[in-house]
Amino acid sequence: MENKPVETTYYHLKRCPVELALEVIGGKWRIPILWKLSDAKTVRYNELKRSISGITNTMLTRSLQDLERHGLVKRIEYSEVPPHVEYSLTDTCQRLIPALKIINEWGKSI
């Protein structure tokens, strides 16, 4: 058996998990989006937009794409006219919701 390839620079093994997580859920809109998605099974694009005060199409779209790419959000498109798209949290992301609940409670007291 040959020698296994040397492990090259696996930065992610050294990086702080909190910082890694923040790369995925950080930014101005992602946590608010996740939080809104967390109290409904599925949410439509415009419903999401209305419920998150101040967010623009640009940022909502981009944030949802980022979250989807990282596997936190599921996007289901129904082939209808007019278009119909439902967003929901993945199981991976569900495990994060308890943290958001704590933050929410904490936020009430400040």
Partner DNA sequence: CAGCATCCTCCGTGATACTG
Partner DNA sequence: CAGTATCACGGAGGATGCTG
**Taking CB under 8 A as the criterion, which residues in 66-95 touch its own copies?**
70, 92, 95
Using CB under 7 A as the binding rule, whether residue 24 contacts DNA is answered as: no
- Distance in Å, CB of 40 to DNA, minimum: 13
| Selected binder of its own copies within 32, 60, 63, 67 (CB under 8 A) | 32
What per-residue string of b and e applies to 53-87 under the rule 16 or more CB within 10 Å gives b? eebeeebbeebbebbeeeebbbeeeeeeeeeebbb
Q: In 3D, which of 107, 98, 40 has the Cα closest to residue 73? A: 40
Decide: residue 36, CB within 10 A, 0-12 exposed, 13-18 middle, 19+ buried: middle
Nearer Cβ to its own copies (44/70): 70
Using CB under 8 A as the binding rule, whether residue 26 contacts its own copies is answered as: yes
Binding site for DNA (CB under 7 A): 27-29, 44-47, 54-59, 61-62, 64-65, 75, 77, 82-85, 87
